[in-house]
Amino acid sequence: MNKLNKGKLGEKIAEEFLKENGYKIIKKNFRTKSGEIDLICEKNGILIFVEVRTKGKNLFMLPEESITKKKIDKIKKTSLEYLASKEKNYKEIKFEFIGIEFLSNGNYKIKHIKDFIY
Protein backbone atom coordinates (compact mmCIF):
# COMPACT_ATOMS: atom_id res chain seq x y z
CA MET A 1 0.00 0.00 0.00
CA ASN A 2 1.47 3.37 -0.96
CA LYS A 3 1.69 6.39 1.35
CA LEU A 4 -1.33 8.21 -0.15
CA ASN A 5 -3.60 5.16 0.10
CA LYS A 6 -2.40 4.49 3.65
CA GLY A 7 -3.16 8.10 4.60
CA LYS A 8 -6.67 7.97 3.14
CA LEU A 9 -7.33 4.65 4.87
CA GLY A 10 -6.09 6.14 8.15
CA GLU A 11 -8.44 9.12 7.78
CA LYS A 12 -11.37 6.77 7.10
CA ILE A 13 -10.52 4.69 10.20
CA ALA A 14 -10.26 7.89 12.27
CA GLU A 15 -13.60 9.14 10.93
CA GLU A 16 -15.35 5.89 11.86
CA PHE A 17 -13.70 5.90 15.30
CA LEU A 18 -14.90 9.45 15.96
CA LYS A 19 -18.46 8.68 14.81
CA GLU A 20 -18.55 5.64 17.10
CA ASN A 21 -17.57 7.94 19.95
CA GLY A 22 -20.34 10.49 19.40
CA TYR A 23 -18.60 12.99 17.11
CA LYS A 24 -20.47 14.52 14.18
CA ILE A 25 -18.22 14.99 11.14
CA ILE A 26 -18.79 18.47 9.70
CA LYS A 27 -16.02 18.68 7.10
CA LYS A 28 -13.25 16.48 5.74
CA ASN A 29 -9.97 17.80 4.34
CA PHE A 30 -10.71 21.52 4.77
CA ARG A 31 -8.06 23.36 2.73
CA THR A 32 -6.97 26.97 2.49
CA LYS A 33 -3.75 28.62 1.33
CA SER A 34 -2.55 28.29 4.94
CA GLY A 35 -2.94 24.53 5.18
CA GLU A 36 -5.33 21.64 5.68
CA ILE A 37 -7.34 20.24 8.55
CA ASP A 38 -8.12 16.56 8.15
CA LEU A 39 -11.43 16.42 10.03
CA ILE A 40 -13.65 19.09 11.55
CA CYS A 41 -16.15 17.70 14.03
CA GLU A 42 -18.70 18.75 16.58
CA LYS A 43 -19.50 17.09 19.90
CA ASN A 44 -21.60 18.55 22.71
CA GLY A 45 -21.54 22.02 21.14
CA ILE A 46 -17.74 22.00 20.90
CA LEU A 47 -16.03 22.46 17.53
CA ILE A 48 -13.10 20.08 17.18
CA PHE A 49 -10.28 20.23 14.64
CA VAL A 50 -8.65 16.82 14.23
CA GLU A 51 -5.23 16.07 12.78
CA VAL A 52 -4.84 12.47 11.59
CA ARG A 53 -1.45 10.84 11.09
CA THR A 54 -0.93 7.36 9.73
CA LYS A 55 2.26 5.38 10.09
CA GLY A 56 3.24 1.98 8.84
CA LYS A 57 5.22 -0.66 10.61
CA ASN A 58 8.99 -0.40 10.97
CA LEU A 59 9.06 3.36 11.46
CA PHE A 60 11.16 4.92 14.17
CA MET A 61 8.69 7.47 15.50
CA LEU A 62 5.15 7.45 16.75
CA PRO A 63 2.51 9.22 14.63
CA GLU A 64 2.18 12.09 17.14
CA GLU A 65 5.95 12.65 17.08
CA SER A 66 5.72 13.61 13.39
CA ILE A 67 3.83 16.85 14.16
CA THR A 68 6.17 19.84 14.01
CA LYS A 69 5.68 23.35 15.39
CA LYS A 70 5.30 24.53 11.79
CA LYS A 71 2.42 22.06 11.27
CA ILE A 72 0.77 23.18 14.52
CA ASP A 73 1.01 26.81 13.39
CA LYS A 74 -0.62 25.86 10.05
CA ILE A 75 -3.44 24.02 11.84
CA LYS A 76 -4.11 27.03 14.07
CA LYS A 77 -4.11 29.48 11.15
CA THR A 78 -6.34 27.24 9.03
CA SER A 79 -8.76 26.77 11.93
CA LEU A 80 -9.07 30.57 12.30
CA GLU A 81 -9.85 30.82 8.59
CA TYR A 82 -12.53 28.15 8.98
CA LEU A 83 -14.06 29.98 11.96
CA ALA A 84 -14.08 33.28 10.05
CA SER A 85 -16.01 31.63 7.20
CA LYS A 86 -18.84 30.36 9.44
CA GLU A 87 -21.71 32.18 11.12
CA LYS A 88 -22.28 29.69 13.92
CA ASN A 89 -20.62 30.46 17.23
CA TYR A 90 -19.29 27.63 19.35
CA LYS A 91 -18.93 27.70 23.13
CA GLU A 92 -15.51 26.15 22.79
CA ILE A 93 -13.04 24.87 20.21
CA LYS A 94 -10.51 22.09 20.66
CA PHE A 95 -7.69 20.50 18.74
CA GLU A 96 -7.38 16.73 18.81
CA PHE A 97 -5.08 14.16 17.28
CA ILE A 98 -5.65 10.65 16.03
CA GLY A 99 -2.68 8.46 15.20
CA ILE A 100 -3.19 5.27 13.23
CA GLU A 101 -0.31 2.83 13.40
CA PHE A 102 -0.51 -0.12 11.02
CA LEU A 103 0.98 -3.27 12.50
CA SER A 104 2.85 -6.05 10.72
CA ASN A 105 -0.04 -8.50 11.27
CA GLY A 106 -2.43 -6.31 9.24
CA ASN A 107 -4.17 -4.82 12.28
CA TYR A 108 -3.82 -1.24 13.49
CA LYS A 109 -3.66 0.74 16.72
CA ILE A 110 -5.50 4.00 17.30
CA LYS A 111 -4.17 6.69 19.62
CA HIS A 112 -6.58 9.52 20.40
CA ILE A 113 -5.16 12.63 22.09
CA LYS A 114 -8.03 14.90 23.10
CA ASP A 115 -6.10 18.01 24.12
CA PHE A 116 -3.45 18.08 21.44
CA ILE A 117 -2.87 21.81 20.92
CA TYR A 118 -3.42 24.51 23.51
- Span 83-106, average pLDDT: 86
**Domain extent at residue 20:** 3-113
The 3 state secondary structure assigned to the chain is CCHHHHHHHHHHHHHHHHHHCCCEEEEEEEECCCCEEEEEEEECCEEEEEEEEEECCCCCCCHHHHCCHHHHHHHHHHHHHHHHCCCCCCCEEEEEEEEEEECCCCCEEEEEECCCCC
Average pLDDT, stretch 50-74?
A: 81
pLDDT digits (tens, 9 = 90+) for 72-87: 899 999 999 999 988 7
For residue 30, being part of any structural domain is answered with yes
Select, from the ranges 7-11, 26-30, 69-73, the one with the highest average predicted confidence (pLDDT): 26-30
In a domain, 8, yes or no: yes
Number of domains in the chain: 1
Q: What is the percentage of the chain residues whose pLDDT exceeds 90?
A: 56
- CATH classification of the domain holding 36: 3.40.1350.10
Instruction: Classify residue 94: in a domain, yes or no.
Output: yes
Question: What's the pLDDT at 102?
Answer: 87
Q: Assess if residue 33 is contained within a domain.
A: yes
Which pLDDT score is estimated for 110?
94
Q: Of 60 and 19, which is predicted with more confidence? A: 19
